[in-house]
């Protein structure tokens, strides 16, 4: 459950917490930490998941959104892992927090890289398609993690492997995406107000 929810957190941390919390609270799925099921947490995660859903569909905005998410997503993955372990500060808690955080970081970095490559394409369809694929993956893997954790971990490992392969295959386009984004930000900062 920790590995799968870590993968999902790396793609969309807010939707992952929301899906897990809703399943724990309303479907009575065991293993979902109580802290994720609180009303205030569900409301905040719902609002943030909606904001990310919209931001993720807009080229450039999605890559800018990924900048703060580089810190947020791994932290959420680590917190979920710690909560699943019971957050008692023992070796199990630290280990599961590390699994969740590192998995979230790796899935986030591959997603952000792939999206940079996609953003350099001249048409918006690939950007929206990549975003929708990520949304479907997050909801599916998070729901599977809450109900069938071993199957979810296998699916998450396969998806992570595919993402890493795609990122490797698109490495030159990712580099071009970084240059494109830097030029866009530099040009916007240099423009008179």
Would you put residue 58 in left (φ > 0), alpha (ψ -120 to 50) or beta? beta
Contacts of 67 (CB under 8 A, 6+ apart): none
**What are the domain boundaries of the chain?**
2-190
Cα–Cα dist 89/124, whole Å: 46
Residue 41: pLDDT above 60?
yes
User: Tens digit of pLDDT for each residue in 43-99?
Assistant: 999 999 999 999 999 888 888 898 889 889 998 998 888 888 886 667 878 888 888
Cα–Cα dist 146/45, whole Å: 17
Instruction: Tell me, rounded to whole angstroms, the distance of Cα 26 from its chain centroid.
Output: 23
pLDDT: which is higher, 183 or 138: 138
pTM score of the predicted model: 0.83
pLDDT band at 145 (very low <50, low <70, confident <90, very high): very high
Cα–Cα dist 76/102, whole Å: 11
């Amino acid at each position: 459950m920790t590995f799968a929810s870590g993968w999902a957190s790396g793609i969309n941390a807010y939707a992952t917490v929301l899906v897990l919390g809703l399943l724990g609270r309303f479907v009575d799925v065991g293993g979902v930490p109580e802290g994720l099921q609180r009303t205030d947490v569900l409301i905040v995660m719902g609002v943030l998941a909606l904001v990310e859903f919209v931001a993720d569909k807009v080229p450039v905005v999605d890559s800018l959104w990924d900048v703060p998410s580089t810190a947020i997503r791994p932290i959420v993955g680590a917190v979920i892992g710690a909560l699943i372990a019971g957050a008692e500060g023992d070796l199990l808690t630290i280990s599961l927090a590390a699994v969740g955080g590192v998995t979230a970081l790796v899935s986030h970095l591959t997603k952000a890289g792939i999206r940079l490559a996609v953003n350099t394409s001249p048409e918006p369809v690939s950007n929206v398609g990549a975003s929708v694929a990520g949304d479907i993956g997050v909801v599916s893997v998070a729901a599977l993690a809450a109900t069938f954790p071993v199957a979810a971990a296998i699916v998450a490992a396969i998806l992570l492997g595919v993402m890493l392969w795609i990122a490797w295959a698109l490495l030159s386009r990712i580099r071009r995406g970084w240059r494109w984004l830097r030029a866009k930000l530099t040009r916007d900062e240099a423009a008179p107000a």
